[in-house]
Every structure is written in C-alpha cells, then in structure tokens.
Structure 1
Amino acid sequence: MGDITLESASADDWDEIHEMFSAALNFDPNPAGSAADRQLFEPDRTLVARRDGRIVATIGAVTRRIAIPGGVIDAAHSGRGAVAATARRQGLLTRLLHRHMADARELGESISVCWASEGRIYQRYGYALAVRRVGLALDTREAGVPVTSGAGVLADGSPEELRDVLVKTYDEAYAQRPGWSERTSAHWDYRLADLPHMRGGATALRAITHEGEQGIDGYALWRATGDWTDTGPVGEVRVEELVATTAEAYAELWRFLTTIDLTRTTRIWSCSVDEPLFYWVGEPRKLSATVSDGLWVRVLNVPQALAARRYAAPVDVVIEVRDAVLPGNTGRWRLTGAPGSATCVATDDDADLRCDIRALGAAYLGGASLTALAGAGLVTELTPGSLAAATTAFGWHRPPSAFEIF
C-alpha cells in the first residue's frame, strides 16, 4: 500500500470526488446530482487524500456568509467530508479536519459550520450543536391559523418564474435570522435544482408568494403527494422552506399550506423551536413534533468570533478557553459586549468562567444557554454570578434556525 498524501483538489478531481463521496455514504453516483453539487465545488477549498494516485478521503468548504446575533460574518461552510471504506481508521478525517480548520482561520473565517452525518464524529474536533431543528407533521384538521386583517395577495408559479422575488425576499430576511446563510446565484441554482430522485414520490417543487402593502414579503417552497385510501384522499403537503418578513405573510402562507385540496397532512422537515405555528393548533400533540440536530458550529478564532456578534445584555467577563486542536484559542479572554458593540482581547486577569471550545460553539448563535452547558460539564463558573450574567448576554431575541443543507 502506498503512502497517503494530503493536498488541495483541482478542477479535474470533481468526478472522482463525487464518486468516492457517494460510495462512502452508500449511494450510487448520480449524474444529475453530480452536476448540481458541482455548482458549489471550490477546488482551492477542497482537500483530498490520495493513495497510489486515487482519492480515498475528502472534505470541502464553501465560501459564504452566515447570520449571527446582531450581524453577518464570513464562515467556512464545510461539507462533503468522507473517507473511503478501505481507508478508514487511519486518521485521515483528523488530518483533513485539522487542515480545514487551520486554513479557514488563516482566511479570516472565525467559525466553521456544518450539517453532520453523525454528530459523534464532529464533536471530537470541537464542533458543537448550535441549532436544533424541529420537524412537524401537522394534521391539518387541527390547524387554526388566524385570519389576518391585511389585504395581502397570494400568487403561485414555478420557482424559476418567481426566482427574482424569492431572491429579494430571502435577502431581506436572512440577516435577521441567526443560522441562515447568504445565497449567491450559484446557491440559488443549487437550491432550486429539484432533482427528480430527491422528490421522494412527491411533485416537482412549487412556489407561492405573499404580497403585502409594501410588496412581496414572504414565500414558501413546497411540493405535494397524491394518495387515497378507501375513505378518501390522504395527500400530504411538504414544505421545503418558508420565509416571511411580516407576521401577515407568515400567517397567510401557513393558511394556504394547511388548506390544500385533497391533503390531510402538512409536513415541514426543519423549522425553528419558536415557530408561532405551535400556538395555532388546537391540540399541539397533533403536530407530531420531533427535535433533532441541525447546524453544528466550530469556533476557529475566539476573540474574532466573540467580538463579531452582539449580546442581549451588557457583559464584562473573562473566559478561560481550552482548545486541544487550535492552540491559538487556548487562554483567557476578556469579553466586553452589549447590544450594539463588543470587544474580546487576551488578558492575564483571573477567569470568571472556564469552558471547552465546544461550549462557545453551542452558544455562539444564541441557541444554547451557558447555564445548560454548565450542567453538561462544558462550562465552569469561577466567579459567583458570572454564569447567570453571561447566560443572559449570550441569548438573543430570536433562537437560531436552519433549513438548508449545504
């Protein structure tokens, strides 16, 4: 067996990367899927491990910005990480991830984000669950979406026909929702690819928009299934994403999606833990809610990351951080933050809190409380009262959410 080398990919490597990645995930390579995925392929941000000239492991990153509490920052959006079955247990993923994190930090990205095929893998490298996703399967007979007082208008069409207004609406909304990422033209091409083998027996992707007094202020991407039993139709609406910048648009879109003829269930695979929909149903259990992991965050540069976000309340705290992978993060950092500004600098002052790097990743988007993380053993309070104050500060008025796998 030859030595395994690690290097950046070239544009010519894509087909082999796609084939190896598909096999590692137990899928057959798909030409249409390959063409769609290739739109986001950045060779200079993709690492490959070669043995005897063949690619046996890979991980990639997409250059993209993400919304955080109080702002938007550059973040390494990692994906397509896999090791061939014949190259497992040789430390390849460790080498790839260590290099990925070091490269992203060098590029000025203070966090790396990913969707994990298995969470236990990424926790070993300092990633933490930062966004929980809630899946819902609503019995539409339980839906009680309130009637709004507005005079909004719904319009339907294909996603491509409505693409310009979808883009405009998403751009207006995403910066206000921690966990949502920017979309360039290539990201929209990927999002709307609508490959037949990914439809799960449902229709092609459909779009609906809501126009309020100030113009288009919401949309939904959805599909449906047609099914009948001896007692009648039992079709299902599958909501891929719903984006709204006003409460009226949000309500009217949900009203539409829960009243489609010949359907009895409306399903959304990922929504926020604070969805107003929870308060509109007569029997919340009929939502069949499931909670699972969504977005994982790895803090790459502690002072840069903590200074970039904003805080729900004034805070002045010294945090001692442990990071076994990126030693530049290890040390004591004085965080001084508020709703409008923040700084984070190295200090020799005594620490108020001590934490593992995973705690900062979990709390970074405002989704996990430092108090809960202390209960999990990831945070230790050294100065009485500092944990409660920091917990309040790290919160945010809207919990993070995520619904787009990259």
Structure 2
Amino acid sequence: MDESVRLRQATAQDHDAIVDLLNYVFHHDYDDEDRARDLLTFEAERSLVADDAGSVVGHTTALTRELTVPGATVAAAHVTGVGVAPTHRRRGLLTALMHRQLAEIAEAGREPIAVLWASETTIYPRFGYGPACAVMSYQAMTRELRLRPEVPGAGQRLRLVDPKKASAELAEVFDRVRADRVGWSSRPGRWWEQRLADPKDHRGGGTALRGVICDNASGRPAGYALWRTKGRWDEFGPDAEVRVSEVAADDPAVYAALWRFLLGIDLARTLTYDFGALDEPLQYLLDEPRRLGRKYEEALWVRILDLPAALEARRYLTPVDAVLEVTDPLLGSNTGRWRLTASAADKARCVRTEEPADIALSVTDLGALYLGGTSLGALIAAGRARPLTANLPSAAFGWHRQPNPIEVF
C-alpha cells in the first residue's frame, strides 16, 4: 500500500468528504437532501477511510443489519460504499481497506457473514466473496400479458396509500414476509425512512413513489407494492411505464392481486421491475411469460467470516453428514477440515476434524453456496469444488425457494 496514506476509522465529521469521494467513484452528484438521507443510516464507527494528508481518498463501511438465510436470520455485515479516488488508483488502497475490514469484523465476532452488491464482479472474489444469488429483472409488455383465469386474488381489497404515511403498515408486512424470504435484509432504526425517501432528482422523470396495500379479511395489511409511473404518449396514444420498486406478500391470492393491479394500471404499456427471484411466482401466473422480458443479473455476494458459526446458523434442505476441506488465505481460522452434520429437526453442528474430506473448496465458493442460490453440482462441473468421495451434500445446501434480495444497499 502507498505509505503516504494511512487507514483509520471514520468519524462523523468525515461524512461530507466520504460522500464527495463516492460521487467521483460512482458518478453521482449528491445534493444536500441526498446527504441528509445518507446520514440516516451512516455508521461512522463501522467505516474505514484512507487518509492522504487530511483528504479522504478511500472508503468502505459495514452496515448493521440482519439477513434471512435458509431457515433462519443471521447478523450480517452489509458492506457498501467501497471505493478509491481516481487519483489514487493502483496503489493497493482497496486491498488494504478490504483486508482490514474483514479482519476487524471477524475479530469482533458479532457477524458470521458479510454481504455486498458488486459494482464490478472481478473485484470481490479476491477477498473471499462468492456470488450467492441472482435476480431476474423484467421489462414487460403489459398489453400482451394476461393472468391465467384460474389465478386467485381477483376479489381482494386494495387501497392506495402514501408510502411514508403508511410506513408502519409496510414494515408490519415486510417483517412477516422477510422471515421466510432468503436474501432479504432487516430494516432497523431509520432504514424505513431512508428506504422511502423520494428525492425528485432520483425519480428518473417519473412520479413520486406510490403505494398500494392489500388487506386480509380482518382488515389487516396482508401485502403491499411500491411503484412509480413515467407518463409518455406516442403516435399510437398512451405509452406510460410502470416502475415497480417492491412487492411483498406471503399469501398467493394477495401476491396475485398486487400483480394484477400493477399490470393493469391504465394508460401504461410497459412495466419494469429489477428484483424478481429466479423462481418468481409471477412467471407462473401469466399466459405468455416471455413478454416479461426477463434478464438475469448477479446480485448478492456472501463472505464467510466465521465458518462454524455461519454453517450452524442456517438450516439444510436434507440431512447432511459430510467433511468439508476449506481454504481461506485471508482468515486462516476458517482453513481446515470441518465436519458438518444436520438433520431436518436438529440444529446444525460444524466442528473441526481430522477425518478424510468429502469435498474440497475455497471459502469463496462456500460463500456462493451459502444462500442456496448456487448449486454444488455447478461448482464441481466448473472445477471450482473438488469431490473427494461420493458423499456430496449437494441437495442439503439448496432451499425451497431461490434467494432474492429486493434492494441495493
């Protein structure tokens, strides 16, 4: 690393300089409203900066949130804001920041995993992050889509809401659904305020954020959707776009009712949504799912920090009793052979062992397996995991549904 630059913990006074740096790195132009919104969730004590004679030239932070994993929720360091000033590239600053951050989070022992969204996918495998799940984005032709006649939910009660005023109801639904949706992150403290902030400069020419809630028979909120529209007209008439931000429902009829509403908004011909699961139920409700305009993209990356704690925290789809031989060049405490045992009824157990290994893999590829979105068979076929016996926990690491994060943090 460049010896003229020192790494240090950030302070509250560094916030403006950090935002200035990230404006350069991510090509933003944050105004005072954006800075105030970022402060809602800023954690100076968990942020690291690279300091060059008083100037912030590098940064990374870890946000304190939980993540839903197969069968459980775990504390997960949500890593974001990673970047180096364009004047200080190729000096080892990013590597130094990431190494120190990993060491500090692991030493603290509060979070067995870290997660992030990768702006460039070539960067983070060097630090042990594996691609753990993907999302399916849509650019749908709504005029050519119909829900199948047998789809439920046609008689559900819907009501329009102002998302900010209805935040308590949204949070009630979200927390209930999140408990079973792998890849969803908790929203503690002021996260809902941050999530629902709606600066005009971030609307892309669209309307303010809209909300709709679907109530159950007792009048309680059972699901919601957030969206905005962008009005357009062309030589054929109305051509508006519906931009869906979020859909949350754990009842099939409520889920169908919300999508029936979104796909049927008047004067609109297209609908976009960036956070569908690979197995999103919507595609099975429609008569012509190819008109969804589906596109696959990598999403959440997972880094195992405390291997036994991470593997014991989640549940497994099938019984497992296998020995994993794991290599981790950055956190040596993860390296070695680990016997993982679990049944459908009992909590998993992961302990060091001298027994022969069944499978050999890196901590990067173990992170890719962790949420159930990457198959062990695929890693073996790619030569990334090496089978040593026929006892392979391929099915165990899967889950009932594909993981899908529904926000970039």
The alignment's TM-score, normalised by the length of structure 2, stands at 0.96
1:267 corresponds to: 272
Equivalent runs, 1:4-403 vs 2, <5 Å: 4-107=5-108, 108-146=110-148, 147-148=151-152, 151-214=155-218, 215-340=220-345, 341-384=347-390, 386-387=391-392, 390-403=393-406
Alignment CA distance shift 1:151-1:38 (3 Å) = same
User: Alpha-carbon deviation of 1:339?
Assistant: 2.7
The alpha carbon displacement at 1:151 in A equals 4.3
* Distance in 2 of aligned mates of 1:403 and 1:116: 15
Secondary structure, counterpart of 2:38 in structure 1: helix
Deviating beyond 4 angstroms after TM superposition, the runs of 4 or more aligned structure 1 residues are none
Deviations 1:296-335 (A, max 9, x none): 1111111110011000000000000011111111100000
- Deviation (angstroms), 1:76: 0.2
Name the SS of the counterpart of 2:255 in structure 1: helix
Q: Distance in 2 between matches of 1:153 and 1:283?
A: 26
Q: Which one-letter code corresponds to 1:135 in the other structure?
A: S
Q: Secondary structure of the residue that 1:261 maps to in structure 2? A: coil
Could you tell me how far 1:378 is from its partner in structure 2? 1.7
Once residues 350 and 139 of structure 1 are traced to their aligned partners in structure 2, the CA distance between those partners, rounded to angstroms, is 54
Q: Contact conserved, 1:150 with 1:212, CA < 8 A, in 2?
A: no
Q: How big is each residue's C-alpha offset from its partner over 1:157-192, in whole Å with a ceiling of 9 and x where there is no partner?
A: 110121111010001111101100111241101100
SS in structure 2 opposite 1:378?
coil
For residues 371 and 153 of structure 2, the distance between their equivalents in structure 1, rounded to whole angstroms, comes to 34
Superposed CA offset, 1:255-290 (max 9, x none): 000000100111111110111211233333211100
Cα pair 1:74 1:110 within 8 Å, conserved: yes
2: CA distance, partners of 1:274 / 1:311? 19
Residue 152 and residue 282 in structure 1: after superposition, are their counterparts in 2 closer, same or farther (change >3 A)? Answer: closer
Check conservation: 1:358, 1:378, Cα contact below 8 A: no
Task: Deviation per CA, 1:223-263: give whole Å up to 9, x if none.
Answer: 00110111111101110000002111100000000000100
Say whether the 8 Å CA contact 1:201–1:225 is kept in structure 2. yes
SS at match of 2:190: helix
Give the counterpart letter for 2:170 in structure 1: L
Distance 1:225 1:61 in 2: 34
Displacement of 1:39 in angstroms is 1.1
Taking the aligned partners of 1:71 and 1:122, their CA distance within structure 2 comes to 25
- The structural deviation recorded for 1:31 is 1.9
The 2-side partners of 1:75 and 1:34 are apart by 25
Q: How far apart are 1:149 and its partner, in Å?
A: 5.7
Secondary structure at 2:395's aligned position in 1?
A: helix
Give the counterpart letter for 1:180 in structure 2. W
- Determine helix, strand or coil for the equivalent of 1:313: coil
Give the secondary-structure state (helix, strand or coil) at the position aligned to 1:268: strand
Alpha-carbon distance in structure 1 between the residues aligned to 2:105 and 2:138: 35
The 8 Å contact of residues 277 and 403 in structure 2, kept in 1 or not, is answered as yes
* Cα RMSD, aligned residues only: 1.3
State the AA in 2 paired with 1:377. G
How many residues matched? 403
The alignment partner of 1:292 has SS state of strand
1:142 and 1:282 in contact (8 A); partners too: no
Going from structure 1 to structure 2, the CA distance change for 1:235 and 1:106 (only over 3 Å counts) comes to same
Cα distance in 2 between the residues matched to 1:283 and 1:308: 40
The DSSP-based 3-state class of the residue aligned with 1:119 is coil
Structure 2: gaps of 5 or more residues? none
1:18-65 deviations in whole A, cap 9, x for unaligned?
101111222233222111111111111000010111111000111111
Q: Judging changes above 3 Å, is the alpha-carbon distance between structure 1 residues 46 and 395 closer, same or farther for their aligned structure 2 residues?
A: same
The residue type paired with residue 207 of structure 2 is T
Structure 1 position 2, deviation (Å) = 7.1
The answer to whether the Cα contact below 8 Å between 1:353 and 1:381 also exists between their aligned partners in 2 is: yes
* Displacement after TM superposition at 1:200 (Å): 0.9
State the alpha-carbon separation in 2 of the partners of residues 276 and 310 from structure 1: 23
